[in-house]
Structure 1
Amino acid sequence: MTNSGTPAGGQAPPRRRSKAVRRLVISVLVLLVLLVAADFGAAAVFEHEVSKRAQQQFDLRDHPSVRVGGFSFLAQAVSGEYDLVTIDAKGVPVKDTLRDVDVHADLRGVQAPLSELVGGSLTQVPIREVEGQVRIKAADVNRAIQGNANEVVSAITNLTIDPVSEKAVNTKPAEGEETEEDATEIADQEGTTAGVKLCGTVGIAGQDTELCVFSIVSLVDGGVDIAPKRLELRNGGSDVKLPQQIQAKVLSLFARRLDPGSLPFKVTPTAVTVEPGVLSVKGKAENLVLGR
């Protein structure tokens, strides 16, 4: 042992070494926390700026929700391009019938230079690709159907929306059987038509009866046309039969055209899809500018 307290061989005591390592770890952790905080803070500023411009672009009453995807916002900000920015606006009214439409947009290749973002001079945001979607919920579909002002359809409650294959829509089941809904037959591909089953509860002869209308929904000029093909009625697990003439009249009451309004950024609608509880219209566009 020398006068300096260092053991022979010149190595530092284990206690000093452990303190140095501990300080280094703490410093690294503090730095990481600061970087994460800066990342979240910068992302919040960016999301707010995009939200303001999206509100103007969509003509919305409230600011939509904006979220930046990717591992690190700051890394994307330095490059000036963001891989994915998601915008969601809920409860958007469209004319008188549709009062609760959801608007969704995925923006890819969003360009926003860091200097303009920090300096507050960001006015226009070029976007490489946009995929837009509007979602029409069951309550709005029910309201549209009740617009026919018929005693039967105006009494329908608990309307549900479910996807079915177009084959199931056009194929009548055997006597006394229900339609078999094979999920594998429901096309996973998006197109301009899709099968849908609309079911609700209605009073017939004083009894609650489940009424299901099997229809084809089609994308026509940006709107959604519902073309009913056949119906099934069940009361307590038993089929209810209606005269063919009355069935045809009931089916005609479900023929409706829904106008979901414009897709985000004036994206051209290209597909209609059916999800549980929702009818969706989707479309894509390239090389757009947010804020123009």
Structure 2
Amino acid sequence: MAAPGQPSAPKRRRRTRRIVISLVVLIALLVAADFGAAAVFEYQVSKRAREQFHLTDDPSVKVHGFSFLAQAISGEYGHVAIDAKGVPVQDTLRDLEVHVDLMGVIAPLGDLVSGKLQGVRVREVEGQVRVKASDITRALLQNENPLVSSITNLTIDPISEQDAQTDPDKRTDAEQAAAERAAELETDNDTKAGARICATADLGGEETDFCAYGLITLVEAKAHFVPSRLELTNSVLGTGQLPDAFEAGITGWLKQLSLDPGQLPFTVTPTAVNVEPGVLSVKGKAFDVVLGGSGG
């Protein structure tokens, strides 16, 4: 039996259960409110990013960190990511992917709730534009070459800067060791990157598979391809090299490959180029910018 003046065990269990249920409901309501408030903020940023990118659809916006409401009360959000796909630039680049990381986003809670939020201030922006193989194909075909009538199955893959400039099969052991040491020092934040571009082309009426090895370099915000050697295969040549004059014509044509991804979002200055399987990317940083205002 319970002591006089004390609730019985069943009553204590019922009271504890009610308290637990109430806490669960309260937490659920707080989480729902947190997600709801985050959705409102993400919509506001997405709408302004759509204007900034000149898009037909709203880009994806994600607020990182928990909780959103704690960040909203402070008026500053640590990390907001924006992703937009199918961004066109002129006639050649039609399917760019844009990724932007906004660090230190200033958006007062009162302006957010009232709907009066205008320019969103951002302490630091890192922007990246990714160019797919399909756009690289269009860029190549824009540069007319009497030796090339078509290109299909184009791929782009990363290689070390050393392998881009010299053939690994022709190095001495010492040269190979030096190349491996140099490759270990390469970073993703450089103005050049090794690339292998392969495709099937109609060269002088003969279907030819080729791979071009060289450097992608960033010059005045544009990515240029500088090939150092070619490997070709067709039914006439087998595997090997074209006659010098023929190869010079193809190499000169590949050197004309220049990709201008347009101004990076929020006046970000391009500072690095990188190659990933199937993608060429250009990225850079900016500080103290405004999203959706006159300063963007």
Cα gap change, 1:252/1:192 in structure 2, threshold over 3 Å: closer, same or farther?
Answer: same
TM-score by length of 2: 0.87
Cα gap change, 1:74/1:153 in structure 2, threshold over 3 Å: closer, same or farther?
Answer: farther
How far apart are residue 158 of structure 1 and its match? Answer: 1.3
1:43-76 deviation per Cα after TM superposition (whole angstroms, max 9, x unaligned): 1111111111112222222221111111111110
Are the equivalent residues in 1 in contact too, given 2:148–2:202 (CA < 8 A)?
Answer: no
Instruction: Using the aligned pairs only, state the percent identity.
Output: 55
Cα gap change, 1:185/1:234 in structure 2, threshold over 3 Å: closer, same or farther?
Answer: farther
The residue type equivalent to 1:241 in the other structure is Q
SS, match of residue 156 in structure 1: strand
In 1, distance between residues paired with 2:44 and 2:3?
64
In 1, distance between residues paired with 2:12 and 2:180?
67
Determine which of 17, 38, 53 is the counterpart of 1:22: 17
Determine which of 40, 48, 65 is the counterpart of 1:45: 40
How far apart are residue 192 of structure 1 and its match? Answer: 1.0
Deviates more, 1:11-20 or 1:73-82: 11-20
Considering only aligned residues, what root-mean-square deviation do their CA atoms show, in Å?
2.5
In 1, distance between residues paired with 2:205 and 2:100?
46
In 2, distance between residues paired with 1:248 and 1:70?
54
In 1, distance between residues paired with 2:169 and 2:3?
96
Are the equivalent residues in 2 in contact too, given 1:164–1:183 (CA < 8 A)?
Answer: no
The residue type equivalent to 1:212 in the other structure is C
How far apart are residue 24 of structure 1 and its match? Answer: 1.4
SS, match of residue 263 in structure 2: coil
| Aligned twin of 1:3 | none
In 2, distance between residues paired with 1:204 and 1:197?
19
In 1, distance between residues paired with 2:57 and 2:67?
28
SS, match of residue 254 in structure 2: coil
How far apart are residue 34 of structure 1 and its match? Answer: 0.8
How far apart are residue 8 of structure 1 and its match? Answer: 3.8
Are the equivalent residues in 2 in contact too, given 1:202–1:211 (CA < 8 A)?
Answer: yes
In 1, distance between residues paired with 2:71 and 2:202?
58
Aligned residues: 282
The residue type equivalent to 2:246 in the other structure is I
Taking the TM superposition and a 5 Å limit, the aligned residue runs for 1:44-63 are: 44-63=39-58
Are the equivalent residues in 2 in contact too, given 1:58–1:265 (CA < 8 A)?
Answer: no
| Aligned twin of 1:200 | 199
The residue type equivalent to 2:224 in the other structure is D
How far apart are residue 152 of structure 1 and its match? Answer: 5.4
| Aligned twin of 1:185 | 183
| Aligned twin of 2:68 | 73
Are the equivalent residues in 2 in contact too, given 1:152–1:202 (CA < 8 A)?
Answer: no
Cα gap change, 1:19/1:142 in structure 2, threshold over 3 Å: closer, same or farther?
Answer: same
Q: Does residue 134 in structure 1 map to residue 133 in structure 2?
A: no
How far apart are residue 220 of structure 1 and its match? Answer: 1.2
How far apart are residue 13 of structure 1 and its match? Answer: 2.7
SS, match of residue 194 in structure 1: strand
SS, match of residue 68 in structure 1: strand
Cα gap change, 1:290/1:71 in structure 2, threshold over 3 Å: closer, same or farther?
Answer: same
TM-score by length of 1: 0.88
In 2, distance between residues paired with 1:206 and 1:95?
31
In 2, distance between residues paired with 1:133 and 1:172?
31
How far apart are residue 259 of structure 1 and its match? Answer: 1.0
Cα gap change, 1:115/1:205 in structure 2, threshold over 3 Å: closer, same or farther?
Answer: closer
